[in-house]
Each structure stands twice: as structure tokens, then as C-alpha cells.
């Protein structure tokens, strides 16, 4: 974790959180553009308008900074999905809201998906620490729990038949991942909106709606 997390004074804490946000936005741009391997701490420091020493005060390594960016992106994503879910009442509309917001978030925040692409690439080469891998897996699990909770509520209220909602949530995530990649790669058109709606409708059918 960044060293600033140990600071207790509210005023000082606020200043450091603002600085962290400044670093986060700079690192997001650099990492999305150059990837993990080609990013240097000096690049991030310059983008953030900070000295390299200041950056190292917050993050002792590029991997630690990378992990912070990944986690922050996931937190923003999960909060965005939860907000969309809470804006509707019907259980199946909540599921649809989660589906649409999951796609829209990364489509309108493309830097995040390029960061994830870099993460998958680097993690595939097993060059990231076990701790970082664990933390990212926990963020994925948080998203799955959000979707699983919506499915469980729909089941409890009788809108879908009983079933393995953990597996159903995994299927939901797989659909989102596939469609999201198509959007980010520029394969999304006006016709794609119709296709995505059809895909979601087929997913609902698989839940055996009464």
C-alpha cells in the first residue's frame, strides 16, 4: 500500500489523497499508452508534475504503482455498476443495468481496459508478485459478488428459477468481457447495440425466467 495510508491527520491525509489522485491519473495515461514494460517511473513523475523522489515516496516500485492503478480502476468500475443497479427497482432491470453499465464504463474509460490488457500480458508471463495477483483476483471476486447478489435477489423474488448463481454470474462476466473487447477494438457499431441486447435476452432465457 502507498505510504500515505499511514497518515492520520485529516488535513494531511486529504492532501496526500489529492496527490495520489494526481499520480493515479498520470500513471493511468502513461501505462495505457506504453504498457507496463515500457513505462518508467520517471515518465509518470513528469506527467504528474512531480519529482521522481516524490513519486517513490508514495510507491516504492513500478509494480506497486501498477497495482494501485489496477485496484483504483476496479474500485471505480464496481462503484459505477452498483450505482447503476441502485437506480432501478425491478430485479431483472437491475441485472440489465449491471450489464449495460459494465460495458459502458470501459467503453467510455478506455484507458482502463488497456491497463487490464497490460496486466493480463504481464501476469501471463508471471512477472507480477503473488500479492498483486491476489489483490486483483479479489477485485474480480467483488464484481462477481455484485452480480451474484442481483441474481440471488431475482431468484428469491421468483423472477428466475433457482440455480447456481455463482456460475450464472461467471457466465454474465464472460459475456461482458467478450462484448467489451469488441467495443474497445473498434468493432462496435449501431448494429452492435441490437446484437448486445439480443445477447442479453438470450442470457435471460438461460435463466429460465417464469
- Residue 6, pLDDT > 70, answer no
pLDDT for the residue numbered 168: 96
pLDDT for the residue numbered 58: 93
User: Could you read off the pLDDT of 70-88 as tens digits, one per residue?
Assistant: 888 888 999 999 999 999 9
pLDDT for the residue numbered 182: 76
User: Could you read off the pLDDT of 89-139 as tens digits, one per residue?
Assistant: 999 999 999 999 998 887 788 888 788 777 777 765 566 677 777 887 888
- Residue 18, pLDDT > 50, answer yes
- Residue 4, pLDDT > 50, answer no
Around Cβ 21, how many Cβ atoms within 10 Å? 12
pLDDT for the residue numbered 135: 80
Among 68-72, 155-159, 180-184, the minimum mean pLDDT is found in 180-184
Distance CA 119, CA 71 (A): 11
Q: What is the DSSP string of 130-187?
A: HHHHHHHHHHHHHHHHHHHHHHHHHHHTTSB----HHHHHHHHHHHHHHHHHHHHTT-
- pTM value is 0.82
Q: What is the DSSP string of 26-46?
A: HHHHHHHHHHHHH--HHHHHH
pLDDT for the residue numbered 89: 95
Percent of the chain with pLDDT over 90: 47
Closest CA relative to residue 44, chosen from 57, 29, 60, 58: 29
More confident residue, 129 or 155: 155
Among 10-24, 52-66, 98-112, 126-140, the minimum mean pLDDT is found in 126-140
Amino acid at each position: 500500500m502507498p505510504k500515505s495510508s499511514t497518515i492520520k491527520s485529516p488535513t494531511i491525509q486529504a492532501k496526500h489523497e489529492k496527490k495520489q489522485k494526481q499520480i493515479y491519473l498520470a500513471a493511468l495515461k502513461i501505462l495505457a499508452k506504453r504498457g507496463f514494460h515500457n513505462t518508467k517511473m520517471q515518465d509518470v513523475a513528469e506527467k504528474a508534475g512531480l519529482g521522481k523522489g516524490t513519486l517513490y515516496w508514495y510507491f516504492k516500485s513500478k509494480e506497486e504503482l501498477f497495482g494501485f492503478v489496477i485496484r483504483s480502476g476496479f474500485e471505480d468500475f464496481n462503484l459505477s455498476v452498483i450505482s447503476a443497479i441502485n437506480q432501478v427497482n425491478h430485479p431483472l432491470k437491475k441485472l440489465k443495468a449491471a450489464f449495460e453499465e459494465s460495458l459502458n464504463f470501459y467503453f467510455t474509460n478506455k484507458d482502463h481496459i488497456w491497463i487490464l490488457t497490460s496486466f493480463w500480458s504481464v501476469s501471463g508471463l508471471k512477472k507480477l508478485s503473488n500479492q498483486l495477483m491476489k489483490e486483483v483476483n479479489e477485485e474480480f471476486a467483488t464484481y462477481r459478488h455484485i452480480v451474484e447478489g442481483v441474481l440471488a435477489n431475482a431468484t428469491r423474488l421468483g423472477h428466475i428459477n433457482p440455480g447456481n448463481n455463482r456460475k450464472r454470474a461467471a457466465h454474465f462476466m464472460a459475456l461482458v468481457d467478450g462484448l467489451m473487447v469488441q467495443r474497445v477494438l473498434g468493432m462496435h457499431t449501431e448494429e452492435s447495440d441490437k446484437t448486445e441486447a439480443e445477447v442479453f435476452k438470450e442470457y435471460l432465457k438461460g435463466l429460465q425466467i417464469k
